[in-house]
Amino acid sequence: MNTAEPLRLTKLAKRAGCAAKHPPGFLLPLLGMLPPITDPNVLVGSSTADDAAIYKLSDDLALVLTTDFFTPIVDSPRDFGRVAAANALSDVYAMGGKPTAALSVVGFPDTLPSAVLGEILAGASEIASEAGIAIVGGHTIKSEEPIFGLAVVGTVHPNRVLSNAGAKPGDVLILTKPLGLGIISTAAKNDQDTKGAITEAIRVMTTLNRAAAEVLTAFPVHALTDVTGFGLLGHLRNITAASAVTAEVWAARVPVLPAAREYVNTGIAPGGTRANWKFLSDWVEYTSDVSQEEQLLLCDAQTSGGLLAAVPVAVAAEVVRALSVAGTLASAVVGRISGEGAGRIRVVSTANA
């Protein structure tokens, strides 16, 4: 490495952030080969493709268990730690839980100064402190690329678990952060971020889903997930498949970072986004007025994206108002659960299409 040049972590990684995940088409068949979980205390396992596992300890206490880690999505080591920590903590919020403690998961090249890892850890500790928890330990190995994330433990009441599996026909879909993070981070990595949009993307990615979760758990939410590597439509597919329902998404109502829309129109999109689009072709139908670029935005591999909730239509307006008051980055109604079915999704341009 040329020490005369500023360190850019993204140049050390082939794939960035949650776009480095294996696509659902790779993972789901493998998970289907595993033996069924028979422990009655496992309230949520891998069968519903949820964000975390839930293990019941008593009638009024269950653990939320998750881990999430990836290669650098931003150049700054401290920001990398902040983004990775916020992303991992989001899985607990997406189950209706509260984080309790975390462990670091680290892969670090011995060609980099140890101070770089110190900055990554400091950034993660900053976000953990904002979430009200400590990073209490972890494990580190040597690796060719920097890797960082957290294993997080949280708690939730067994009767208040929010999973992919509860969506009901007539529910409204609400999203709490804008899309486009994968596209913007790819533009920045490839020196194509002409608008400097990575600054706003980092602000979005380092914003905890804590406030959004606190609002949503105060309402009768039927299903909840966070939007990360599989994109909006990929994570919605997990909800529709687990809930045995169908959904409709209104593309024009989905919040998108403006630069991402501009960049995708020039052909910029991460490989993970394109892999999501390909996998979802078996699940998603687009009307003719939804462009290829719009489809990619809806499939864009997010890192530390927002929460996606299925809520009864009777409380939807109140939920949106409460999210807005809480200062969430978005509080948009983006679609609905349209009926019972086998998990398929229809994407139209507007709600009246």
Name residue 249's beta-bridge partners: 335, 347
CB atoms within 10 A of CB 8: 15
Residue 176 Cα to chain centre, angstroms: 11
Element (H, E) at 199: helix 198-205
Radius of gyration of the chain (CA): 19
**Is 299 noted as a catalytic residue in this protein?**
no
Helix (H, G, I), strand (E, B) or coil at 23: coil
How are beta strands 345-348 and 245-250 bridged, if at all? parallel
Beta-sheet strands, E only, within the chain? 42-44, 53-58, 61-70, 98-108, 135-142, 147-156, 172-175, 223-226, 245-250, 284-286, 307-311, 332-340, 345-348
User: Cα–Cα distance between 294 and 316 in angstroms, integer?
Assistant: 25
Q: 102 and 152 in contact (C-beta within 8 Å)?
A: yes
Name residue 352's beta-bridge partners: none
Q: 236 and 173 in contact (C-beta within 8 Å)?
A: yes
Q: Which of 9, 16, 18, 84 is catalytic?
A: 18
Q: What backbone torsions phi and psi does residue 338 show, to the nearest 5 degrees?
A: -90, -20
Catalytic annotation, residues: 18
